[in-house]
């Protein structure tokens, strides 16, 4: 048997009704109709963030190492035991209240602001990338979770700080960042242009060193990964999954995990077009294969730094060996059905 997973990030948008009709109804489905006719639809309960959701799809243990750690793997940051990682983001603070979480900065501006912070803070390491700022702290701290930036807009400062006393140092740093950043030239220019200032560095997605898993050993099958973006590359690194750069021969007794992601900045017509291309060109390559089992997951994740809230995603299962439930609250149980002999 050949096992194929298509996780279609953001493609759940195609199934939302707009003027009594969905984008999926408008789309040409070509090869996808073959799988629809012979497959079974159902619902899958996922977490609010993409990395946690797919970690719990593949691995049914309460050992999620945190988004910060997975991003460190993604960017190949040097990692040692007891290292702690956070994702950080510049937001706008006014009168002790977060008034904007989408402050549009280019990577040069981010680096300039971080350099200002580094003058005052010597115990933290910063790694600045186009989409992410990763913060590393070599100190053994308890794992805690807090809100992603999209959940803190209009919240007062006291409500977004960590409650645990062990993380008071992180709270103090975030508070001090505002004092440091207000006078930075980047923000002076933004004030002159009447734009939101980037005067508060918010920490979230705490991650902690965790021993990486070899997913292929756990499931007793080879597993391969392909993606058109790097949205969950850290998860691929954590599970030590071999990456392929193009479609090739699909081997027996192997899992192929294909990821395709919509861009939230694109128009709805482009979303439809991307699905049509996927249906025709990608599925057209596997439709004639023998002994294949296919799982399609349509989720709402377009941004790895956004918390979408717990949600029901759609799945379509093709050629499973046993009867499926209509709804899976635990994603791992659906994966177990997928690999069932």
Could you tell me the pTM of the whole model? 0.94
On the question of pLDDT at 125 being above 80, the answer is yes
pLDDT in tens, 194-211: 999 999 999 999 999 999
Mean pLDDT over residues 68-90, rounded?
97
Q: Cβ(330)–Cβ(45) under 8 Å?
A: yes
Phi, psi of 232 (to 5 degrees): -130, 35
User: If you average pLDDT over every residue of the chain, what do you get?
Assistant: 95
DSSP β-ladder status, 83-94 and 133-138: antiparallel
Distance CA 61, CA 196 (A): 41
Task: Set out the domains of the chain in order of their start, with CATH numbers.
Answer: 2-64+212-339 (3.40.720.10), 69-208 (no CATH)
Identify the pLDDT of residue 122: 83
Distance CA 326, CA 312 (A): 12
Of 75-84, 119-128, 258-267, which range is least confident?
A: 119-128
What percent of the chain is predicted at pLDDT more than 70? 100
pLDDT in tens, 20-58: 899 999 999 989 999 999 999 999 999 999 999 999 999
Identify the pLDDT of residue 108: 96
Task: Output the CA angle 317-217-255, nearest 5 degrees.
Answer: 30
């Amino acid at each position: 048997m050949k096992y194929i997973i298509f996780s279609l990030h953001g493609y759940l948008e195609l199934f939302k009704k707009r003027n009594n009709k969905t984008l999926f109804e408008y789309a040409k489905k070509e090869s996808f109709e073959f799988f629809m006719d012979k497959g079974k639809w159902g619902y899958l309960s996922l977490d609010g963030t993409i990395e946690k959701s797919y970690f719990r799809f593949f691995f049914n243990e309460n050992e999620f190492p945190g988004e910060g750690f997975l991003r460190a793997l993604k960017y190949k940051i040097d990692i040692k035991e007891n290292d702690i990682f956070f994702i950080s983001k510049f937001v706008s603070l006014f009168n002790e209240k977060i008034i904007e979480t989408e402050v549009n900065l280019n990577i040069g501006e981010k680096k300039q602001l971080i350099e200002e912070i580094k003058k005052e803070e010597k115990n933290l390491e910063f790694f600045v990338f186009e989409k992410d700022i990763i913060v590393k702290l070599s100190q053994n701290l308890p794992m805690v979770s807090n809100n992603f930036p999209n959940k803190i807009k209009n919240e007062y400062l006291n409500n977004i700080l960590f409650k645990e006393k062990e993380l008071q140092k992180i709270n103090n740093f975030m508070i001090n960042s505002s004092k440091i950043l207000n006078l930075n030239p980047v923000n002076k220019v933004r004030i002159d242009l009447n734009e939101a200032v980037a005067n508060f560095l918010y920490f979230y997605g705490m991650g902690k060193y965790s021993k990486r898993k070899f997913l292929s050993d756990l499931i007793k099958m080879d597993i391969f990964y392909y993606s058109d973006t790097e949205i969950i590359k850290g998860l691929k690194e954590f599970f030590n999954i071999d990456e392929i750069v193009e479609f090739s021969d699909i081997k027996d007794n192997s899992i192929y995990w294909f990821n395709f992601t919509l861009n939230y900045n694109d128009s709805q017509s482009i979303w439809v077009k991307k699905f049509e291309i996927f249906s025709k060109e990608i599925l057209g390559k596997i439709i004639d294969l023998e002994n294949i089992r296919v799982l399609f997951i349509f989720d709402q994740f377009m941004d790895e730094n956004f918390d979408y809230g717990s949600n029901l995603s759609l799945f379509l299962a093709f050629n499973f060996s046993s009867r499926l439930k209509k709804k899976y609250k635990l994603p791992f149980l659906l994966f177990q059905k997928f690999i069932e002999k």
